[in-house]
């Protein structure tokens, strides 16, 4: 499963009168093997999270409760804003995309599926550095 660029994903919803079930399987519903899972909650509406790019890690981000927005930029002038407000949708974010999550509802729980284990040195946390790296075409710097 290969994806080109950030995009909205729709997961199959199953359920009956007892409730709903969403399954996200690595390599099938998610375009990578899942190596790390984390979630963000308790962020106020005026708080921005993320604000970084990753040299190696791909993500799928799902608001399993509440809502939030995800802004993505590729450093080449392309950007998009995704609204996550249904637990059966998520955003796929490939490597080397600047991401910012914001506008969290009070009850927001933002689930993040990652393709890699956490490695602090693969994070690009300065936007100007990100733009320079994209311009130079060198994600290893």
CATH code of the domain in which 71 resides: 2.60.120.10
Per-residue pLDDT tens digits for 92-107 = 999 999 999 999 999 9
Q: What is the pTM of this model?
A: 0.90
Q: By residue range, what is the domain housing residue 69?
A: 8-13+20-136
The answer to whether position 2 is within a domain reads: no
Q: Is residue 34 part of a domain?
A: yes
Residue 1 maps to a domain: no
- Point out the residues that are catalytic: 52
Reading phi first (left if > 0) and then psi (alpha if -120 to 50, else beta), residue 100 is in beta
pLDDT score for 4: 72
Number of domains within the chain: 1
**Residue 123 located in a structural domain:** yes
pLDDT at position 141, please?
47
């Amino acid at each position: 499963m290969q994806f080109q660029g950030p995009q909205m994903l729709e997961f199959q919803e199953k359920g009956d009168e007892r409730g709903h079930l969403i399954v996200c399987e690595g390599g099938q519903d998610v375009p990578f093997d899942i190596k790390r899972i984390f979630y963000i909650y308790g962020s106020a509406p005026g708080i921005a999270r993320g604000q970084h790019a990753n040299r190696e890690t791909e993500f799928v981000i799902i608001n399993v409760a509440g809502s939030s927005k995800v802004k993505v930029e590729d450093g080449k002038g392309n950007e998009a804003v995704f609204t996550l407000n249904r637990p059966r949708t998520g955003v796929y974010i490939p490597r080397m995309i600047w991401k910012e999550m914001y506008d969290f509802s009070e009850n927001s729980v933002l689930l993040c599926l990652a393709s890699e284990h956490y490695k602090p040195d693969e994070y690009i946390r300065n936007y100007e550095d990100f733009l320079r790296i994209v311009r130079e075409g060198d994600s290893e710097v």
